[in-house]
Amino acid sequence: MSNETETLSRPSILAPAGNKASFLAALAAGADAVYCGLKQFSARMEAKNFSVEELVPLTLLAHDKGIKVYVALNSFLKPGDLDRAGRLLEQLKRWVRPDALIIQDLSLVQLAGQTGFSGGLHLSTLSNVSFATALKLVRKNIKVDRIVVPRELSIDEIKDLALACPKGLDLEVFIHGALCYGVSGRCYWSSYFGGKSGLRGRCVQPCRRVYTQNEQSKRFFSCQDLSLDVLVKVLLPIPKVRAWKIEGRKKGPHYVFYTVKAYQILRDHGSDSKMKKVALQLLSRALGRTGTHYNFLPQRPQDPVKLDIQTGSGLLVGTVKGANQKPYLIPREELLPGDVLRLGYEDESWHGINRVGKYVPKGGRFFLKPSSKRRPAKGVPVFLTDRLEKSLEDMLSKLEEELIKTPGLKISPSAFNARLPKRSRKRATVFDLHVYRKPGKAKPRDRTGLWLPIESQKGLSRNFVSGLWWWLPPVIWPEAEKKIKADIDFVLNNGGRNFVLNAPWQIALFSVKKGLNFWAGPFCNTANVLAISTLASLGFKGVIVSPELSRDDYFLLPKQSPLPLGIVISGYWPLCVSRTLSENLKTDRPFASPKGEKAWASKFGSDYWVFPNWILDIKAKQDELEKEGYSLFVHLVEELPKEVKLKKRPGLWNWEIDLL
């Protein structure tokens, strides 16, 4: 095999960049591609991110070095966001010319076409394309070039997806970086606790906090970082895996440089034992959390939540000493001028940042300056979160000098206005739909729904099956695909015609669609008319909109929608859906946050659903919503565990606040 062929067949290493220094560090490390977000519509809004003006010279420099640039516009868009997002996209197309966009909202596919953007389109992991049958539909109907697969998949599941991958579509796999407890695109925890949506890049990470169950207070949901390290070698023979992705757009240049260099070595010299040791040393010094392989090896899965391991971001360098006098640190590692230290976790009152002014040797003494009047307790962990060694600083300075000067660059405003679909004038039948888990709980009503998978098909009459609305789960893992497909066939053979799908791609599970009534479920996170228009083109007859929206957003959608609309008006909405649960946390028993918010976890199929102990309840708004044009009103019914007591709360979620 020629060197050229080898180069072409290697997966690219995709580096994160949340600021200019990290972007330049990715170039210095020789990443194959850099992904970054803008100051709007990014799923990592806590990173500094970039303006269009800032991205122009950086992208020119990257392209000059043969490095691709991908821009993440992977927020979900509200009804009033379409023109603004389109204008931003038009400016990107004209001035930055990125190689691809990373998106989750289906409206971006249409906006890309309307603005004439000709680069690639990559579906974010937030889109939750999690099973093999979906891939052909995604390529043919959505016309994207790449799928970023969920972090929860094992190597066997990735191989299954790769085998099903059609021509023109490839896969991108996370190999390193932070793990979310909830499945991407299926976490509403931050939004439910205060209107800051993770699907819009505003997550405040409530899963990282301390929770209490049975007098045990632990970080039951705080995951270690994913780190495939030497295991990445098993990805090399899979030709459809075209990119290895490093997570970390909130990280500094040190992390970016070290992780890129480590995985370059593991990709290019993974059979050399000495080089592997070098790579592992680089990863151990990259200032991330302790690593886990998670589900990557199906025969040896690892629990990503280890209660005896510190899961604060950064390298643990010691604990607070002398807390009753002047607090200090005896570092386990040498500290360099400019190092950034973080005291404790972000949810602790003494949390704060200290910068190192002068060199401190390993085992030396560094006096800490608390950021509040409350002194940190003895034993509080101290993490090294960022540093800039002289050698890396010199590399970044040299690249800074190479930046192509664009004096006086002024990005002209865009006059783009999105072309919206025609509103449906057809008045839909108004009805309520109560959705249950078990057939025995379904009461005789005008409309009743039942979740798949079916526990047992035995005893389900044709009359019963044909009259139900069948709800597909919010996540379908490869292991469950055959079971779901068998249940769908059973329902179809018994006259079932009404289905609520909780990912757009689930429509691919139906070989025959004629005569069926498909509604997009609330887990599709649909919140604008261009996304609804795309769903209509896939064969959906109606859409149950995202439950995260505010009153004004809800009232605007029916005025523009080409399809009938539904809304979840009451019931049990999960904080998140996850594929894992700490072995120390008991299901169906309450746990509490430091603020007294209570919740519990229940297992359905292979997933854990985490519920708050209050229900979503906007029933009092039903008349208003019906007047505005909503026709389907959903009530999600769950069986409350015996030990859980519901709390009386308004349950309006974001109705009265503007979702960020």
As a whole-number percent, the residues of the chain with pLDDT over 70 amount to 96
- pLDDT of 324 reads 64
Q: Is 49 exposed, middle or buried (0-12, 13-18, 19+ CB in 10 A)?
A: buried
Query: What is residue 241's three-state secondary structure?
Result: strand
pLDDT (average), residues 556-560? 93
Q: What is the pLDDT of residues 495-513, one digit of tens each?
A: 999 999 999 999 999 998 9
* DSSP secondary structure letter of residue 181: S
Residue 36's pLDDT band (cuts 50, 70, 90): very high
Q: Is pLDDT at 129 greater than 70 in this prediction?
A: yes
Q: In this predicted structure, what is the pLDDT of residue 406?
A: 67
Separation between Cα atoms, residue 531 and residue 105, nearest integer Å:
7
pLDDT at 347: 85
| pLDDT value for 445 | 58
Candidates 155, 166, 156; CA nearest to 147 is 166
Bridge partners (DSSP) of residue 36 are: 17, 71
Classify residue 592 as exposed, middle or buried by CB count within 10 Å of its CB (0-12, 13-18, 19+).
middle
Residue 429 to residues 542, 562, 565, 631: CA-CA distances in angstroms?
A: 12, 15, 11, 6
Task: Render pLDDT for 387-425 as a digit per residue (tens, 0 to 9).
Answer: 989 999 999 999 999 997 766 678 889 999 999 999 887
Residue 660 pLDDT: 73
Residue-range domains of the chain with CATH: 3-178+221-287+392-402 (3.20.20.110), 315-386 (2.40.30), 431-636 (3.20.20)
- Is a pLDDT exceeding 50 seen at residue 2? no
Work out the average pLDDT over 237-246.
97
Greater confidence, 325 or 82?
82
Q: Count CB-CB contacts under 10 A for residue 658.
A: 12
Give, for 52, the enclosing helix (H) or strand (E).
helix 52-64
Whole-angstrom Cα distance, residue 520 to residue 533?
A: 12
Residue 127 to residues 204, 207, 355: CA-CA distances in angstroms? 20, 21, 39
Start-to-end C-alpha separation, the chain: 52
Query: Is residue 440 very low, low, confident or very high in pLDDT (cuts 50, 70, 90)?
Result: confident
Nearest CA among 37, 58, 149 for reference residue 102:
37
Percent of the chain whose predicted confidence (pLDDT) is above 90: 83
Q: Which helix (H) or strand (E) holds 146?
A: strand 146-148
Whether the predicted pLDDT of 45 surpasses 80: no
The pLDDT value recorded for residue 3 is 37
Residue 179 has pLDDT above 60, yes or no: yes
Checking if the pLDDT of 441 tops 80, the result is no
User: How confident is the model at residue 350, as a pLDDT?
Assistant: 81
Residue whose structure tokens are 């028993």: 589
Q: What is the pLDDT of residue 616?
A: 97
Tokens of 596: 């007294």
**Of 636, 651, 645, which Cα lies nearest the Cα of 600?**
645
The tens digit of pLDDT for each residue in 183-205 reads: 999 999 999 988 899 999 889 99
Q: What is the mean pLDDT of residues 29-36?
A: 97
Three-class secondary structure of residue 518 per DSSP: strand
- Residue 21's pLDDT is what? 95
Contact 42/74 with Cβ under 8 angstroms?
yes
Q: How confident is the model at residue 259 (pLDDT cuts 50, 70, 90)?
A: very high
According to DSSP, the β-strands at 146-148 and 120-123 are parallel
Q: Per-residue DSSP letters for 64-76?
A: HTT-EEEEEE-SP
Residue where the block lists tokens 């057809």:
426
- The two tokens of residue 482 are 């055959």
- 9, containing H or E segment: helix 3-9
Place 7 in a pLDDT band, splitting at 50, 70 and 90. Answer: very low
Confirm if 491 and 463 have CB atoms less than 8 A apart: no
pLDDT score of 4? 33
Distance CA 427, CA 429 (A): 7
Give the model's confidence band at 6: pLDDT under 50 very low, under 70 low, under 90 confident, else very high: very low
Length in residues, the chain: 660
Residue 301 tokens, joined:
């899965």
Note the helical H segments in 326-433.
390-402
Q: What pLDDT, on the 0 to 100 scale, is given for residue 425?
A: 77
pLDDT attached to residue 240:
97
CA dist list (Å): 136 to 121, 133, 347: 15, 7, 44
Place of tokens 């290019």: 268
- Average pLDDT over the chain, rounded to whole? 93
Higher pLDDT, 372 or 597: 597
Query: What pLDDT is recorded for position 348?
Result: 85
Rounded CA-CA distance 622/619 in Å is 5
Backbone angles phi, psi at 69, to 5 degrees: -130, 125
